[in-house]
A and B are shown apart, each in its own frame.
Chain A
Amino acid sequence: MLTELHLAALTFYALTGALVAVPLLRLPGGTVRGRPALAAAFAAVALHFAALLAYSRSTGTLPLSGMAPALSSLGFLVGLLAFLVLWLTRERAIALVAAPLVVLLLVAALGTGFGPTPPGAPARGAWFVLHVGASLLGLALIAVAFAASALYLLQHRELKARRFGAIFQVFPPLEQLDRINYIALVLGFPTLTLGVVLGAGYVGLEVGMDRIGPAHLGVGLGAWAVLGAMAGLRLTGLLRGRRAALGSIAGFALIAASYTTLVLLQHGFRRFL
């Protein structure tokens, strides 16, 4: 049931991306407006939520501990935030980046498998749940900033090059994408800060410093520092537009690369999440 629900959610995420991509293919009738993409996105998020609910019911724990549940939860938060952007702005193009990202996370989660918690893992109390929950939400907000930034750079390139094709027609205005990037970063930083603070509480009060690897600390604090710098520059008005988009993409890439390296290098309970 858990796998089936995840597969159904994955299918609807892919369908959302495909529906939004249709106008870019310049097919007759491809620019048809309407609500299919929004409906598909809603179905994807609802099915994904049902999948996470099914996991919680079957294991008696929140889907935050372990690689597959955490990846799935991160994917759900990215999908939910992207759906909110799509719903509130009526600009569907955000799904062009967010949908493949969530599909990738779900494929990774399904590939890893929703097995039982490995033996010897530390206790998972409230500190841990809040730490991981806040951290995942912070990372999801960075992913949304990344998605908006990618669209910004593409639309910026089209506008500068005076090309008025499908991207020009379908993608949202530059300032709107910049605004999404701003909000995502400015909300993401306090959220991730909360995650870091709760993580410190979790380490100090529940598991002890000896159970946490330096790489874990490095990536966590590194992500926090990158996001902090970005949010600070945005809040002070020193960074905006194309440079902010480039910075967000670089920051997201740095965090994703560091985390992936960490996962590949570490084993056992020391693995992230």
Chain B
Amino acid sequence: MGLTLVGLNHRTAPVEIRERLYWPVAEVPGVLQKLTGVSGTYAVLLSTCNRTEFYLSESHAQALDVISRQAGARLGQSLDPYAYVLQERDVAEHLFRVAAGMDSLVLGESQVQGQVREAWEAAQSSADSVLHRLFQSALRTGGRVRAETALGAGAASVPSASVELAHKIFGDLSGRKALVLGSGEMAELAMGLLVSEGVRTVMVAHRHLEHAAQVAEKLGGRAVEYGEAWPMFAEVDIVMTSTAAPHAIVTMPHVGEAVARRGGRPLCILDIAVPRDVDPAVGRLDNVFLYDIDDLQGVVAATIGIRRREMPAAERIVQQELRHFWDWYGGRGAVDAIRQLREHAESLRAAELERALRRLAHLDPADRERVEYLTRALMNKFLHAPTLALRAAAGNGNDRELAEAIRRLFDLGEGLTQTEEGSNQQ
């Protein structure tokens, strides 16, 4: 067998299966060493929270057994119900789509490109030239898709939508001030992203000051009482609210005066609480931009819509890169086949020449050389057309039949077909 992929992903396996079959990158070389040592195959292991995939080159049935046993031991059950096996061109196409984020749970996400790179780097000693080339091509495909299409553009999660909205109002977020009202996983996540974008002076207000202090410590800010928070609406640029209050707590009487003192500076309020924390009347104030959880989800939906429209353009890039890779891969198979054909022809030529020269013992060295030249020239002429045909067929990915015909015509035995099989599973 040539290129083979065995794996599972978010489409074929639930999270409780995926998490058990996840190998941290530090463990990957050990897993690969075991696999390649036992089966003699070459391999790369891509293991993320959404997929675990073994990429094999020149694999043997034994390799699949090893993977099945390793995965089975980790899962405590058979891998078969969740696994898929791909061969040859499908393997390359799949990996190119994975690297481009086209096979991700969140369409177009960019993290997977780094994970593909890590997987390849962790397999430097267990991968052969085919796998190296395959992963290099996949990374180039991912890079091109991200550079030439908008498949990775925009915000595809509620926290990143918060950042995008803030960006659309302020541009650069460095040095901006933020205020957090309440707490909650989503709010902390979103505020963490904003802080990573350069937002400074994060103040956290909470009913319980000690809880505010805990959140503030995580975000590198300081804790304040609710009463202290209202005048801050005159100074801060971003307010994020996520309290468990049953009614709106940010109302005109609380913040109207502070907002009026802003002097036309925009204020972005991200209300991710349900029920909402901010009175909609506050959002109608001049230069106040108020967004609730539905709006943030609207940003995500718009992004996904844009990304879906980019799929045909991304698909074209994948097919271009796939053609380039397949030309190289197929040509590589043809080189082996041509070599065997020439070796066979050369051995016949040498044997026949030796027999003939024994009968022509009267020839002087110059004439013997002429005879030898004649046989070599005839052999090259005879092999020229089949060589070109094999190269062309390999480029098109349909050289299996031709290799089989050549095997029969030249009586080459099984070797040629086996070598060629690698590039002809399609």
Chain A interface (Cβ < 8 Å from any Cβ of B): 26, 28-34, 155, 159-160, 162, 164-165, 168-169, 172-176, 179, 237, 239-244
Contact = CB atoms under 8 A, between A and B. Distances in A.
Contacts of B148: 32-34
A175 B171 CA distance: 6
Nearest to A89: B171
A168 B298 contact: no
Interface string B97-110: 00000000000000
Contacts of A30: 309
B168 interface: yes
B156 to A, nearest CB: 13
Contacts of B291: 162
B313 A159 contact: no
A165 B302 contact: yes
A159 B169 contact: yes
A240 B312 CA distance: 43
Q: Closest 8 interchain pairs by CB?
A: A31-B150, A173-B171, A29-B313, A164-B302, A176-B171, A240-B264, A241-B264, A175-B171
B306 interface: yes
A223 B302 CA distance: 43
Interface in B280-304: 286-287, 289, 291, 295, 298-299, 302
A32 B307 CA distance: 11
Contacts of A28: 309-310, 312-313
Contacts, number: 80
12 contacts: A28-B309, A28-B312, A31-B150, A32-B310, A33-B150, A162-B298, A164-B298, A172-B171, A174-B168, A240-B263, A241-B265, A244-B264
Most interface-central of A28, A175, A244 (chain B CB within 10 A): A175
Interface string B146-185: 0111100110000000000101111100000000000000
B170 A175 contact: yes
Interface in B172-228: none
B266 interface: yes
B147 A169 contact: no
A173 B170 CA distance: 6
B169 A33 contact: no
Nearest to B150: A31
Contacts of B309: 26, 28-31
A159 B170 CA distance: 12
B303 to A, nearest CB: 8
A174 B150 contact: no
B170 A164 contact: no
A240 B265 contact: yes
Contact of A169 (B169, B170, B306): B306
A174 B298 contact: no
B313 A155 contact: no
Contacts of B263: 237, 240
A165 B298 CA distance: 10
Contact of B286 (A33, A159, A242): A242
B150 A159 contact: no
Interface string B267-291: 0000000000000000000110101
Nearest to B290: A162
Given A32-B150, A175-B266, A244-B264, 14 more contacts: A29-B310, A32-B148, A33-B149, A33-B150, A159-B165, A160-B289, A164-B299, A164-B302, A172-B171, A174-B168, A175-B170, A241-B265, A241-B287, A242-B286
B63 to A, nearest CB: 40
Contact of B266 (A165, A179, A241): A241
Contacts of B264: 239-244
A29 B311 CA distance: 8
Contacts of B302: 164-165, 168-169
Contacts of A237: 263
A61 B168 CA distance: 46
A87 to B, nearest CB: 17
Given A169-B302, A241-B266, A243-B264, A32 B287 contact: no
A244 B170 CA distance: 16
Interface string B305-319: 010011011000000
A168 B23 CA distance: 40
B153 A174 contact: no
A21 to B, nearest CB: 16
Interface in B110-152: 147-150
B304 to A, nearest CB: 11
A31 B168 contact: no
B316 to A, nearest CB: 9
